[in-house]
C-alpha cells in the first residue's frame, strides 16, 4: 500500500512537472511569435489638452473656465478612452510605436501612457514644442525593447511668403529596430482645410515638399533605407500634396527602388476613410512606406495590405438614420464625451 502511494505521488509530481514545462514552452513560443510582429499606430486624438492655459497659446477654450468647460473629469475620461482604443488595435499586444496627432504637449502624452493598458509597456516619448498658434503638436512614443532612438528632429514649416503662418512641425525620428535594422519615421499634421481646400492647399504642398526633400536626402545616402510616414495630412491619397509632391502612389506594378507607397490608397478608392465630412468619408490619415519595406526578405517587412482602419462599433456614433461616424469628444463647444473625430490606423510590421 505504501509503495502504491509513493508511486502515485511520484507520478503526480512528474505529471505536474510536464504541465509546467509544457505551459512554459507555450508561453515562450507565444512570446517569440509576438516578438516577430511590430504593431504601429497612428491616431489623431482630437484636442488632447490638459486643464492649464499656456502663455502665448490660444488654448483658453480647453480650461475649466473656457467655452468647452474642460475639466478633470472630462480629461481623465478622455485618457481612459484613448488608451482603450490604442490597446484594442491588436488582439495580442499594445502598439510598439504610436504616432499621436493633436496633442497639446509632452505632459498629456505622459498622462496617456500611464493609463491602462498602455502602462504595460515602458514607453519613451519623442516630442518637440511646435509654433502652432493653438499649441497643438505631434508626438511619437515607442517601446524601448524594440526601438533604440538614434536621432530626432523637428522639421519647421515656415513659408517664406507668409511670415505670420505657423503650424505643426514634422517630427522625424531615426531608430534602430531590434538592434538589426534602421527605420526612418515621420509624424505629420499638415495645415487644415480651414478657409477652403483650394486656398489652403499650397500650405500642404509646401509641407509635402519639405518632407520629400528629407526623404530624398536619406535615400541619397542609402537607396534601400526603410521609411515610414504617417499622420493627418488633411489631404487624401489622390490630392496633389501626397500624390504629386510627396510622390506617394498606389502603384503596385513595377514599383521602383526608392518609391513611396501609400497603404491607404486602395482603401480610399474603396470608399473608406478616417474622417467623416458632410456625410463623406475622407482619408486624411495616411500611412506611407518606402518600397524597400514591401515583402522584404530581411528584417522589417510589410505587405500592401498590412495597414487597417480601426472602426469597431463601440468607437462609432450612429445617428437616427443609421449612419455611422467617429464618436467625437466635441462638436463645436457641445460636449459629446466620445473618443475622437478621427478613426485610428494601425500597421503590422513583420521582423524576419
Q: The cell 502598439 sits on which residue?
A: 95
User: If pLDDT is split at 50, 70 and 90, which confidence band does 199 have?
Assistant: confident
pLDDT in the model for residue 120: 94
* pLDDT of 198 strictly over 80: no
Q: What's the mean per-residue pLDDT of the chain?
A: 90
pLDDT in the model for residue 25: 42
Sign of the CA dihedral with 261 first, then 264, 265, and 267 last:
positive
Decide if 170 contacts 130 (C-beta within 8 A). no
Decide if 133 contacts 57 (C-beta within 8 A). yes
pLDDT in the model for residue 21: 38
* pLDDT of 165 strictly over 70: yes
Decide if 188 contacts 230 (C-beta within 8 A). yes
Decide if 303 contacts 352 (C-beta within 8 A). no
Peptide bond into 81 cis (omega under 30): no
pLDDT in the model for residue 35: 54
How many angstroms separate the Cα of 3 from the Cα of each of 10, 167, 179, 214, 273?
11, 82, 56, 78, 72
* pLDDT of 331 strictly over 60: yes
- The string of pLDDT tens digits covering residues 31-77 is 334 459 999 999 999 999 999 999 889 999 999 999 999 999 999 99
Contacts of 253 (CB under 8 A, 6+ apart): none
- The string of pLDDT tens digits covering residues 299-323 is 999 999 999 999 999 999 999 999 9
Exposed/middle/buried for residue 329 (C-beta within 10 Å: 0-12, 13-18, 19+):
buried
pLDDT in the model for residue 12: 52
Residue-range domains of the chain with CATH: 35-351 (3.60.10.10)
pLDDT in the model for residue 90: 97
Q: What is the percent of the chain with per-residue pLDDT over 90, rounded to a whole number?
A: 81
pLDDT in the model for residue 34: 45
* pLDDT of 140 strictly over 90: yes
| 69: alpha, beta or left? (left if phi > 0; alpha if psi -120 to 50) | left
Strongest mean pLDDT among 118-132, 183-197, 241-255: 118-132
- The string of pLDDT tens digits covering residues 271-286 is 999 999 999 999 999 9
Over residues 73-100, mean pLDDT: 98
CA-CA-CA-CA torsion for 288, 48, 343, 35, nearest 10 degrees? 60
* pLDDT of 79 strictly over 90: yes
Which of 106-115, 155-164, 215-224 has the lowest average pLDDT?
155-164
Over residues 220-247, mean pLDDT: 97
Buried/exposed 244-272: b ≥16 CB within 10 Å, e otherwise: ebbbbbbeeeeeeebbbbbbbbebbeeee
Looking from the CA of 307 toward its CB, the CA atoms found within 13 Å total: 27
Per the structure block, which three cell numbers stand in for 148?
533604440
SS (H, E, C) the chain: CHHHHHHHHHHHHHHHHHHHHHHHHHHHHHHHHHHCEEEEEEEEEEEECCCCCCCCCCCHHHCCCCCCCCCHHHHHHHHHHHHHHHHHCCCCCCCCEEEEEEECCHHHHHHHHCCCCHHHCCCEEEECCCCCCCCCEEEEEECCCCEEEEEEEEECCCCCCCCCCCCCCEEEEEEEECCCEEEEEEEEECCCCCCCHHHHHHHHHHHHHHHHHHHHHHHHHCCCCEEEEEEECCCCCCCHHHHHHCCEECCCCCCCCCCEEECCHHHHHCCCCCEEECCEEECCEEEEEEHHHECCCCCEEECCCCEEECCCHHHEEECCCCCEEECCCEECCEECCCCCCCCCEEEEEEEC
Over residues 174-200, mean pLDDT: 91
Amino acid at each position: 500500500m505504501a509503495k502504491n502511494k509513493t508511486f502515485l505521488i511520484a507520478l503526480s509530481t512528474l505529471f505536474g512537472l510536464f504541465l509546467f514545462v509544457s505551459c512554459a514552452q507555450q508561453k515562450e513560443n507565444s512570446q517569440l511569435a509576438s516578438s516577430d510582429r511590430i504593431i504601429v499606430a497612428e491616431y489623431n486624438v482630437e484636442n488632447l489638452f490638459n486643464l492649464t492655459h499656456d502663455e502665448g497659446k490660444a488654448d483658453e477654450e480647453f480650461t475649466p473656465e473656457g467655452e468647452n468647460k474642460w475639466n478633470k473629469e472630462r480629461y481623465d475620461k478622455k485618457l481612459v478612452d484613448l488608451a482603450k482604443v490604442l490597446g484594442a488595435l491588436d488582439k495580442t499586444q499594445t502598439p510598439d510605436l504610436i504616432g499621436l496627432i493633436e496633442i497639446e504637449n509632452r505632459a498629456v502624452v505622459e498622462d496617456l501612457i500611464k493609463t491602462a493598458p498602455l502602462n504595460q509597456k515602458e514607453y519613451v516619448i519623442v516630442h518637440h514644442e511646435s509654433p502652432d498658434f493653438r499649441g497643438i503638436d505631434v508626438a511619437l512614443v515607442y517601446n524601448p525593447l524594440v526601438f533604440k532612438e538614434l536621432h530626432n528632429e523637428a522639421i519647421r514649416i515656415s513659408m517664406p511668403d507668409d511670415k505670420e503662418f505657423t503650424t505643426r512641425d514634422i517630427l522625424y525620428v531615426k531608430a534602430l529596430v531590434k538592434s538589426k535594422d534602421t527605420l526612418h519615421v515621420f509624424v505629420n499634421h499638415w495645415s487644415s482645410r480651414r478657409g477652403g481646400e483650394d486656398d489652403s492647399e499650397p500650405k500642404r504642398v509646401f509641407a509635402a515638399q519639405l518632407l520629400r526633400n528629407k526623404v530624398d536626402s536619406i535615400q541619397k545616402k542609402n537607396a534601400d533605407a526603410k521609411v515610414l510616414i504617417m499622420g493627418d495630412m488633411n489631404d487624401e491619397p489622390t490630392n496633389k500634396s501626397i500624390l504629386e509632391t510627396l510622390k506617394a502612389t498606389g502603384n503596385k506594378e513595377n514599383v521602383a527602388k526608392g518609391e513611396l507607397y501609400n497603404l491607404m490608397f486602395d482603401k480610399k478608392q474603396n470608399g473608406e476613410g478616417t474622417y467623416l465630412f458632410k456625410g463623406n468619408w475622407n482619408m486624411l490619415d495616411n500611412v506611407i512606406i518606402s518600397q524597400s519595406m514591401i515583402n522584404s526578405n530581411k528584417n522589417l517587412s510589410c505587405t500592401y495590405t498590412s495597414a487597417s482602419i480601426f472602426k469597431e462599433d463601440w468607437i462609432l456614433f450612429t445617428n437616427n438614420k443609421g449612419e455611422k461616424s467617429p464618436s467625437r469628444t466635441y462638436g463645436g463647444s457641445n460636449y459629446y464625451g466620445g473618443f475622437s473625430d478621427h478613426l485610428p490606423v494601425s500597421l503590422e510590421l513583420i521582423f524576419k
